[in-house]
Amino acid sequence: MQITFTKPELPKRGTLVVGLPQDGNLGAGAEELDRVLGGGLRRAIEGERFKGRPDQVLTLLAPAGSELDRVLAVGLGKPDELSPLKMQAVGGRIASALGRRVEGSATVWVESGQGSGMEAAEMAAHLAYGAILRAYRFDRYKTRKPGEDEENGETADVTLTGLEILCEGHQSAAERYEVLAKVAEGVHLTRDLVSEPANVLYPETLAARAKELSEVGVDVEVFGEAQMREMGMNALLGVGQGSARESQLVVMQWNGVPEEAAKGKTPVAFIGKGVTFDTGGISIKPSASMEDMKWDMGGAGVVIGLMKALAGRKAKVNAVGIVGLVENMPSGTAQRPGDIVKSMSGQTIEILNTDAEGRLVLADVLWYCKERFKPKLMVDLATLTGAIIICLGHEKAGLFSNNDELAKRLFDAGEAVGEGLWRMPLAPEYDKLIKSDVADMQNIGQNRGAGSITAAQFLQRFVGDVPWAHLDIAGVTWAKKDKPTVPKGGTAFGVRLLDRLMADYYEAE
């Protein structure tokens, strides 16, 4: 969708959107529109009992007194409660309301009201950001044209192609939005990757998609199985040994700090689980909903999207993104329950359940990252356990960390962008649950309890003293229903959160 910003001037034709606060004041733009409509806007507000609440949308079709096709009034809520996040939600609701109803572009008039702490330019930029996030669709495999299914009672595809946003300080709004749009590109990339079917996206093709980041200045290395075998990554390789697809390791580096200024400083690092399809292996999953396992590479997708966002907005930070890419399949060569593997760290692991595979991938990648890059911190993301959904549902991701400061910063960044985290415990009592009688550890706990915690305890054995956080995103990577800025499907949960973490705490001045 094309977004443009220009100075306020009431359009004569097309679709016009105005935001109305909950305090009853129309604002200068809405007042001018009401005069043109001969009081039609106020009459509609009163007739429909429109109060300006954030969840309210009022539509006037072919309003008398003008040549406009449609007027859309969107509730802004209380002026003193407006925030960037709430303006993003407004933009998302506008995109949702118009997306399947308007052919071409629409005009949105944005103005700050009394009591609002936000300037019109800031409001406009975040409204546009929310709209572009919500307008995302993964429809590349649909062959029907927009509108062809309407006669059968099905909804037409998106036809809205752009928004022209009117506001005071429109040039400032455009500059603010330019940065946000680069983050949105990272979000869209992650959603694309997570949505692809496993016959299209497997370790080698996902590595190739990551390699494309070299076009925006990211240095990308791809390692195959022979190289990983030399490194001793037997935990990762064991997961993929039942698949006809070769496993891959991808290392991405964004160097946004000049070499002289970066001397002596270590990068921040992000690690992603990339199981492009997870059958469970020999410990095979039930068939119901197994198709969802195409997005078991969600953590890797987030890391790739984050690197695109950081490079796109030229973030002043040195960052490393590493993803371990495997396909977990049952076959005559597949890993078996009872196998013992020696990880890159030298620690041995007894495999009791081949469906607890993500932690095996991350074990080697975390160790590799720690040893090669000596990072300032490491954050890993993984659709790791179903147990985290039992704990937190689909509303928040689980946060585990060995560092209180890092955990607090992640939590605050999540709250700022609407990607909530909830910290879970790590403790020696839980660590004892993965003690093995025949190896240094086993890959699942001794009973069904604390499944997410024992998985995190397993990972902690491979991070040493590096400040580290693990985000279990199993419950938030895929959405079954729409949210204001997140259409159902792949959410890209984590891209905005980690980008905000970098912007707030780790970028050079």
Catalytic residue chosen out of the listed positions 100, 137, 211, 285: 285
pLDDT, tens digit (0-9, with 9 covering 90-100), for 297-320: 999 999 999 999 999 999 999 999
Residue 112 main-chain phi, psi, to 5 deg: -85, 140
Cβ atoms of 457 and 430 closer than 8 Å? yes
Catalytic residue chosen out of the listed positions 273, 359, 409, 496: 359
Taking the C-alpha atoms of residue 131 and residue 203, their distance in angstroms, rounded to an integer, is 32
Contacts 24+ apart (CB under 8 A), 179-182: 179/313, 180/125, 180/126, 180/128, 180/129, 181/3, 181/128, 181/129, 181/132, 182/309, 182/312, 182/313
DSSP lists the bridge partners of residue 442 as 350
Cβ atoms of 160 and 105 closer than 8 Å? yes
Taking the C-alpha atoms of residue 213 and residue 413, their distance in angstroms, rounded to an integer, is 25
Spatial neighbors of 317 by CB under 8 A, at least 6 apart, are 254, 256, 257, 267, 268, 310, 502, 506, 507, 508
Taking the C-alpha atoms of residue 285 and residue 293, their distance in angstroms, rounded to an integer, is 10
Q: What is the pTM of this model?
A: 0.96
Q: 3-class SS at 360?
A: helix
* Domain architecture of the chain: domains with CATH: 2-169 (3.40.220.10), 182-506 (3.40.630.10)
Q: Locate all alpha helices (DSSP H) within 52-117, ordered by sequence.
A: 84-99
Residue 461 known to be catalytic: no
Residue 70 known to be catalytic: no
Taking the C-alpha atoms of residue 443 and residue 352, their distance in angstroms, rounded to an integer, is 6
The amino acid occupying position 310 is L
DSSP per-residue letters across 445-506: -SSSTTHHHHHHHHHHTTTTTS-EEEEE-TTTSEESS-BTTB-SEE--TTHHHHHHHIIIII
Which mean pLDDT values do the consecutive 10-residue runs of the chain (509 residues) have? 95 94 86 94 92 93 91 94 96 92 92 82 98 96 67 57 96 98 98 98 98 98 98 98 98 93 89 98 96 98 98 98 98 98 98 98 98 98 98 98 98 98 97 97 93 98 98 98 97 98 91
